[in-house]
Each structure stands twice: as structure tokens, then as C-alpha cells.
Amino acid sequence: MIARVFLVELGPDAELRLGRELEHLGFDVVAFRPAGFFSLCNAQGCRCGPEQRCADILVYGCDCAQPDPFLAAEKQVHRNCKVNHIAMISHNWTAPALMHAIAMGIKTFSLPLDTKRSLPWFRECRRQIPATRVLTDWYRGAALPGDLRAHLDRARESGPQRARSGSEGAQSDPD
């Protein structure tokens, strides 16, 4: 089963490195900038049906120096997003931020990213995907402001912002 991962605001280096690793394991990887994409597209709540998911895993870049580094993740949770696995990656975790993430049930990783620690978590998330889950692509046709539409169009065509689909030449992970 192909699992889809949304990478949101990770930064080009982490996005490229993690995206390539996940593609190699057979994940469908979609990277987005800016993080506001989700709140604009999902203003009325989750658009996915009962067994649908737009992604299986959401990974947010987190700058703990920002006033509210958890805002995007909290919006997804409050809008009843059906994505079951959320992670945040940061270069500057603070003790209060780590405690907040743990309280929200968010998996945390630090930069530079240690793939020996992170990839097993992604594999476990994939194992937990219900057999009845159906991936939906509603976000590809969402009514977006012009600048975001152009961004998504470019992301589909360019390297690190839109990684290849897991079915386009990636090797499957046998687990």
C-alpha cells in the first residue's frame, strides 16, 4: 500500500533529504510551502470522506522561536483532519515546545535529521494504515488564491518542492 506524506515548511535541505529517503522506501511525497496552504484549503473542516485521507502522515517544519510554532498543526486537529500521524521537525526545540508537542501526540525530530531514528517511525505509520483507507487528491483541485495555485503548479514540476510519486520509479520497502 502506498502511503502519502505531506512535508510542510521543512526548508529545502531537510525537505530534499527526507523526501528522497521516503521516496526510496516507496512513499508518495508531496512538499508544500507555505504552511498557510492547509488553513486556506481546509477552512470549512476536513474535506475527506469517512475512509478517505489526503495524506497518511503530516510533517511540519517547526521554528520554536516563532510565537506559536504549533498553529498549523493545531488548526488541522481542530478541523477534524483525518490524518492520524503528525510529526514536527525543528532545529531549536525548547523544553516547553517538546512538552507541548508530546501533549498533542505529535512525534518530534531534530535537525539535522537522524534518519536511523525517523525512518522506523514512518514505516510503523505505514503499517498502521487501515486497509479500507482511500487516498484522495482534493487538494490538487482546490480553489486557491492565484499565488498558491502558481506555487502548486510549480511544485508539481520542480525537484525538491514536489518529490516524485512513490509509484514513479521508487523502490518499495519490503516491510
What CATH code is carried by the domain that includes residue 11?
3.40.50.2300
Residue with grid cell 522506501, as numbered in its chain: 25
**Is position 30 within any domain?**
yes
Residue type, 58: L
Domain encompassing residue 153: 4-157
- The mean pLDDT value for 163-168 works out to 36
Residue with grid cell 488553513, as numbered in its chain: 39
| Predicted confidence band of residue 76 (pLDDT cuts 50, 70, 90) | confident
**Is position 26 within any domain?**
yes
- The mean pLDDT value for 135-148 works out to 62
168 against 9, higher pLDDT: 9
Question: What is the total count of domains within the chain?
Answer: 1
Chain centroid offset of residue 31 CA: 7
Contact (Cβ atoms closer than 8 angstroms) between residue 90 and residue 83: no
Q: What is the pTM of this model?
A: 0.77
> Is residue 11 pLDDT above 90, yes or no?
no
Residue burial 115-153, b: 16+ Cβ < 10 Å; e: rest: eeebbeebeebbeebeeebebbeebeebeeeeebeebbe
**Is position 72 within any domain?**
yes
| Predicted confidence band of residue 35 (pLDDT cuts 50, 70, 90) | low
Coil, strand or helix at 121: helix
Q: What grid cell was written down for 128?
A: 498502521
158 against 172, higher pLDDT: 158
**Is position 167 within any domain?**
no
| Predicted confidence band of residue 86 (pLDDT cuts 50, 70, 90) | very high
**Is position 174 within any domain?**
no
